[in-house]
Amino acid sequence: MQKIGRYQIIRKLGKGGMGAIYKAIIPIINKVVAVKLLDPFESMEIVLGQETLKEIFLSEATTMAAIKHPAVVDVWDFDEDDLGRPFFVMEYFSHNLGEMIGEDFHLENRSRIIRPDKVLYYGRQLLAGLACLHHNGVIHRDIKPQNLLITDDDQLKICDFGMALSATTAFSNPTNINIGSPFYAAPEQVKAPDQVDGRADLYSAAVLLYRMLTGLLPGMAQFSLSAVSPLYDQNWDIFFSKALHFNPDLRFQEADAMLNGLDNLEVHWPQDGRNDNKQTPVTPKTSPPVHLRKKPINIWGGKARSFMGLNDKSQPLTYMANCLEACGDAVVCDRATDLCWQQSGSKYPLTHRGAQHYIDQLNRERLGGFEGWRLPTVDELLSLLNDIMYQPMDPLFDSSKMRLWSADLHGRRDAWHVDMAMAYAGWQDVFSRNFIKAVCDNVPL
């Protein structure tokens, strides 16, 4: 399939029970969008029928289009393709929180543990978005990591309203299918999905926050955060005890109240901010530099993790010890690797092709008086990564630009990147946008 309506397809992003999502381009202006097409599994069509499916699909598009909030995905168009199948067009974002925390179809598996300040950052945006939805009479009923998109500038967007209840639509949800996702759905939603209110979404949000902090689902291992980490005090335990209560009457009653509770939580960082997993810093005068892979590769599948020294969560098996120092106003030198790094990085996120143009510009300008600037390999980017929990990247660098392109490829249309804030290596299609932190080999004596 090359087109859906007038939209030119780049690639298929995924498929669920109701429909398929495509990355597409608006002709002439070449703007990238996401297109959701009604393309249900045969089993769904047998159970619900084509007319009911169309009704659900239209309800989803109508509900999303009625909401205007920074934390909710916008709908821009609605139409039918040449086969009479409805589709709607949304703004496109290349990241979702599920991919970023490493959650897969086996929900029982551990996910990546995320820094608490990052969890609070996303949690505030999620609860602000839910407050807007609930104010407009919309209950999402399927809050989970995969339904939370992350923009290029690190803003959270709620998507996938296929299971939403809305006071503004006449659609009545079918009673013969499950609503919500296992482990994330509130207990009362499992029993009576059409009778829930906003407190069900707040329960799902609490499950998500707990998972990001611990790597586990609360139903798998119920333990207090203060008992396992000095970063958290008993206020965190009180917050989750209330947010995850099985009785909705004993939970936070509104998203704004839960947001206020979240804002009152404090992370107790160690005073020295040291990273216990970091090796003893190298002294260049007595230790030879570590030679990292400089040549880009094209690698994918399971062998990529082994080749790049990653664990099953695509995070480093070991952390390297840097010996960093500022070399002028724009460059940071690492004596442990004989590499020189751009201190700030690109001002804006760029496509992978745009990244190479940016590198060419740095070389024309001879940034910091250095030559030979290039995109780093995954190995080189990972050398800058500290333990995720305390300090992902040295304060010499710009901490606002943490999702970085590498020179390594992943097949024909994808390239590897490293998310310094989430501490993992992943891949995206080359039309996605990430920041650039250039590297060169010319370290002065």
User: Is the model's pLDDT at 300 over the cut of 70?
Assistant: yes
**Residues 6 or more apart in contact with residue 406 via CB below 8 angstroms:** 296, 375, 376, 377, 378, 380, 381, 415, 416, 417, 418, 425
- Angle between helix 255-263 and 198-214 (nearest 10): 30
Query: What pLDDT, on the 0 to 100 scale, is given for residue 176?
Result: 53
Q: Burial, 163: exposed, middle or buried (Cβ in 10 Å; 0-12, 13-18, 19+)? A: buried
The predicted structure's pLDDT at residue 280: 43
Residue 95 makes CB contacts below 8 A (sequence gap 6+) with 149, 150, 151, 403, 428
pLDDT at 443: 56
Strand partners, 149: 96, 157
* Cα torsion 110, 115, 119, 122: sign: negative
Selected catalytic residue, list 142, 160, 379, 419: 142
- Determine the pLDDT at residue 277: 44
- Mean pLDDT value across residues 355-370: 95
What is the predicted pLDDT for the residue at 45? 81
pLDDT, the chain, mean: 89
Q: Which domains does the chain have, with CATH numbers?
A: 3-91 (3.30.200.20), 95-263 (1.10.510.10), 302-440 (3.10.100)
Q: Is 312 a catalytic residue?
A: no
pLDDT at 284 over 50: no
- pLDDT per position as a tens digit, 383-438: 998 876 667 778 889 888 999 999 999 998 899 999 998 889 999 989 889 999 99
CA distance 176 to 160: 20
Kind and range of the H or E element at 23?
strand 19-26
**CB neighbour list of residue 207: distance below 8 Å, 6 or more residues apart:** 183, 184, 217, 218, 244
Residue 232 exposed, middle or buried by CB count within 10 Å (0-12, 13-18, 19+):
buried
Res. 282: pLDDT tops 70 = no
Question: Which pLDDT band holds residue 173 (cuts at 50, 70, 90)?
Answer: low
Inter-residue contact 141 to 196 (CB < 8 Å): yes
State percent of the chain over pLDDT 90.
68
The answer to whether 340 touches 331, Cβ cutoff 8 Å, is: yes
Q: What is the pLDDT of residue 444?
A: 52
Q: What is the pLDDT of residues 47-84, one digit of tens each?
A: 788 888 999 899 999 999 999 999 999 999 999 999 99
Radius of gyration of the chain (CA): 23
In this structure, what token pair is assigned to residue 238? 């009180």
